[in-house]
Structure 1
């Protein structure tokens, strides 16, 4: 199947308090509509972490979720900040800084790349 015909969604977000919840709710609804299960809520948590990082460091954010094949979900967060995500903090007692550790633990793979207007941070996870 042509990748452009695969199920996908695009959601523009503003860096405001409700952005993370809106992203998570949108991902949940899309997965249900596409008859794909996010069994443990991994995709929702990954989405939350990536959007949280973006709203802390950027002013323009776009969430893209797609199903590149029959067993994978891809979440991408595009933003206007050209700096890559910070390396995870080693202090396990810190109040924050472990979001990317969670993303790494819950996804098959993740990463980021520069774009003309900033960057995109992405993660892939398995879905039944």
Structure 2
């Protein structure tokens, strides 16, 4: 069914339930789209991107866009600050910075782009 492969978007608030909520929606969408083989990596990537957005303290959106054998995950917020990979593994006292290293390791690609006045952090997870 073509309709079931349409992109899906959910708006979230910056709270402790954001990442679990996004992962639950992701699981349902991947099942509907027949992309369950992507669940483990996509769940981890989604959780990391959502956690980064939630730290900003503003509402944000998560877009899930099915592709042939892949999933494009986009997190949209209004922060002007672009995320950057930090070498936090060498510093055992670091409280953050590992999320994008994990995204970089699991995703087929990721990046940041501007869309109107918003920032879109995206990652592509492929089988």
List aligned pairs for 1:69-88, cutoff 5 A. 70-88=68-86
- Normalised TM-score (structure 1): 0.86
Range with greater deviation from structure 2 (90-99 or 49-58): 90-99
CA distance in 1, matches of 2:9, 2:39: 23
Q: Indicate whether 1:89 and 2:74 are aligned.
A: no
- Consecutive unaligned residues of structure 2, counting only runs of 5 or more, are none
Alpha-carbon offset, residue 39 of structure 1? 4.6
- Contact 1:6–1:67, Cα closer than 8 Å, also in 2: yes
Q: Establish whether residue 125 from structure 1 lines up as the match of residue 125 from structure 2.
A: yes
State how many pairs are aligned: 124
Aligned twin of 1:115: 115
Give the root-mean-square deviation of aligned CA atoms: 2.1
Which residue number corresponds to residue 32 of structure 1? 31
